[in-house]
Structure 1
């Protein structure tokens, strides 16, 4: 059977994809432009995609296609309704990146919290060497212990962040974007109450009609001075133009691993603010520890194996 990987580069060059050879002939593409998708999958039985979009027309024109493996948890790049109508199985991989995202959340929080950008520059620019002082306390930072940590989206990753925040001594509360999650161990708050009462706020929610533009000019003004806002959910949850203005007008901090359009356009207002030292952006890497990517590949193999067993192949 023919297996096509559409965006292998997103899995990393350090993964051994030869494990997929057991299932048939594997054709690997590092990246795929939308204009190239059909030609590359038209003879495929199984397609593996991370972010390349596969729509209804693609599926209708590919009679050999039986299985789409999404190399991610999110499924918004595949038309699931069309797949179900046509009879194409779609499988994703859930839970593989939880530890990686939790770790990255705290890497970002601590970088901003302890003013690492300033202090690293102070030493490497020799400013500290010239100061004559054994220490530099010009940019004060606070401890997580005793502070309020608010979590927007208390799913598996949100709960993982909550446990670590508690270990640091934080008081954890949460806002359920769906209104369905409830956890008696933590205090549930309304969105405005959470934004106004927490020193650190981290977002771990999917992008949907409830979360699109959830954080905007109207509620960014509720953030406390010196508070930290982190987005490790999806771009589009925070209005980026509004956040850029807020960062320049107030002393708040933001850490983003996701933006609305990826890679980030050079004209994104966040890249042109004055207060760059209060903004940290990483290129959608929270999910991508080596361990997480190994688990992801294992999940893809398991999905193909179970599909073939189900089909009696």
Structure 2
């Protein structure tokens, strides 16, 4: 089973307008509301591709009520922990003329300590359920930002709970939390190049990945934009990319990559190249879809078209590309 945790969920609101004019008044057809957050996007993709999932997050207020209704209608198995604070909103304005999207993300409101404990308890119970139900060890995915003021021990506590239950732990986050996740024993980390440089202060991506490995990660999946993706372990670097980058919506590409990694890990697959091929193909297939949390059915042909290279790796090496 794949258990996803979204510490800072959002009700995603999307409107399409002909053209965004700063300071102007815009008219749009009825927008779309969707339960969002990176962990939920991971759960949606993995569930649609046949994996057994359970998505855990918090929910509160009127926006939380709309969030819960949409998630229920999606069919994705989930467990919602009620909180007093209003679920945040993420607002996307799509400029049809330029094809650009302008996004405004509310920061979110920190739940109380008792509410965080309730989420941790729900994670623990889900890990027990997963261990009892599955042949392979469960996979715990912790994905997305933390709300301002979240307890410093929250992320390490989640990771430690997962490892204590025998689960692999995959973390997709940014900033100091990325280093915190490595220190706490996350199995897989999935930053992009900018997030890695910001967190480590190291401009070279391989040296930055080596720092995460030194701190305790087993595998770093590193998104490199048009250059595809790298899988970095203590002894090898594997690069996968398409010959021609795809145009489309990159919003959920990283979440699809995490879903691919989690799905294979839940099946007992640990081989970095196999994980990278699936992660890169699902990431590319997500670019072809209008909404995060979905991938295009053409992903097998995208996987066949990947250019894959493997290089030996030592921490002092520079980028081999």
TM category, shorter: 0.3 to 0.5
TM-score by length of 1: 0.33
TM-score by length of 2: 0.33
